[in-house]
Amino acid sequence: MARVSRRRIGSGGAAGFTSVNTSRPKWTSKVLDGQVYGEPLVWGSEVIVATENDSVYALSSHSGAVVWRRHLAAPVPSSMMPCGNISPSIGITGTPVIDPVRQEVFALAFEMKSGRAVHYLYGVNLVRGDLMLREPVPTPTSPQTPYLNRSGLALDNGSVVFTFGGNYGDCATYHGEVGAFEESAPSRAVTFEVDGGPGENQGSVWMGGAAPAVDASGHVWVETGNGSVTTPGHAYDDSEGVVELSSAMRLVSFFAPADWRQDNANDADLSAEPALLDDGFIVATGKTGDVYLLRADHLGHVGGQVETVPSNCGDDLDGGVAVVGDVVYLPCRNGTEAVRVSTSPASVKVLWHASQGVGPPIVAAHLVWSIGNGTLYGLNPATGALERQVSLGAEANDFATPSAGAGLLLAPLADQVVAFAAR
């Protein structure tokens, strides 16, 4: 039987660029109507960006001018939340996803409706900004204020995949969730619940803002955060692990470290995107700093990793990853890191750890780009040496992620987007 490619559809690499002019921006957008937590997206000659004011913008890739803006709803005031660190309001936090065939962008908004805070999935036409879809999104428990959609959305064979976790502080009662809406029948949602057993709670699926990984067979892969189970003898609760789900949100397989209960007690999430490689291996990591090498076709359940190595990160590893061949670039909050996976024998090795870069990395124009402390960094992919450094301005969050497309390298700021010319 031929091996099924497990690599994520969309792997943090931008093909076709050979250089980026960082001497000055090509354009900087106007100040938008809210904070930008998600990654800018590119469709044709448009740059799509969403705000915490529940608005979706299309910006011209040539000038940054607003092509259209669709304000979807009134966002939720942060004063209504049981805890959290987003203010003054919470609207669209996770990165939207584009379906180029339908010419539609999907966004998950947190909004006020009849005095209650609720989540809705929206579809917006990419050409005119017309509203095409508005569908309520279920959460495992009510009210919905303990739930935050931090991960980006993903597409899977005609379905929009979403996740839920908790707010910063893990307050109140919530259960991590992964779900999917059929684009052609959005009223039918299928979901998978983390830490959903009697007396259980938490198990956030947030991944530092990264989207779920979708493989070539349509399976969905996520990492899960700390749950409520900390005592010996309790069965595994789907927390602190790598979870493989079918497109119908049925559990296919999972991995968790042998000390997952202790990780639960220490709030030591697996909090990065699982890196799916073409050779059938997976790299997973998170707040403990350990890097786990897994086999996609045999995750091995509890303690089933092929190898564990220390990352040398010295801080949390949160967010999306970039995969180029057998090298995975990891989002260490103490400086970007690179690891290489070997297949014979199966092993993973740290190649380098940079002192620059904080947010999730991408690879474009032969450099590894990330944003941290208001600065855009470009690192040598072979050595981690600093080759570019550009002061941008304040970003809205710790997981600001650059993107590339339409001849641009794009960097989100607190409430603007900066574009650099690429070729």
pLDDT in tens, 191-228: 999 999 999 999 999 999 999 999 999 999 999 999 99
Handedness of CA 242, 351, 355, 15 (dihedral sign): negative
Q: Contact at 8 Å (CB) between 240 and 272?
A: no
pTM greater than 0.85: yes
Note the pLDDT of residue 4: 31
| Run of H or E residues at 265 | helix 260-265
What span, in angstroms and rounded, lies between the C-alpha atoms of 163 and 154?
Answer: 10
User: Is 80 exceeded by the pLDDT of residue 9?
Assistant: no
Query: 60-90 burial by CB neighbour count: b if 16+ within 10 A, else e?
Result: bbeebeebbebbbbebbebeebeebebeebb
User: For 86-95, what is each residue's pLDDT tens digit?
Assistant: 999 999 999 9
The whole-angstrom separation of Cα 196 and Cα 402 is: 35
The average pLDDT across 140-156 equals 98
Task: Tell me the pLDDT band of 186, cut-offs 50, 70 and 90.
Answer: confident
Domain residue ranges of the chain, discontinuous segments joined by +: 13-421
Identify the band that residue 187 occupies on the pLDDT scale cut at 50, 70 and 90: confident
What pLDDT, on the 0 to 100 scale, is given for residue 15? 65
Distance (Å, whole) CA 269 – CA 207:
9
Q: 406 with 423: CB under 8 angstroms?
A: no
Strand 362-364 and strand 367-372: the pairing is antiparallel
Residue 150, CA atoms < 13 Å, CB-side half-sphere: 31
As separate numbers, helices (DSSP H) first and strands (DSSP E) second, the chain gives 1, 36
* Residue range 13-421, CATH number: 2.130.10.10
Which is nearest to 256 in space by CA: 280, 276, 229? 229
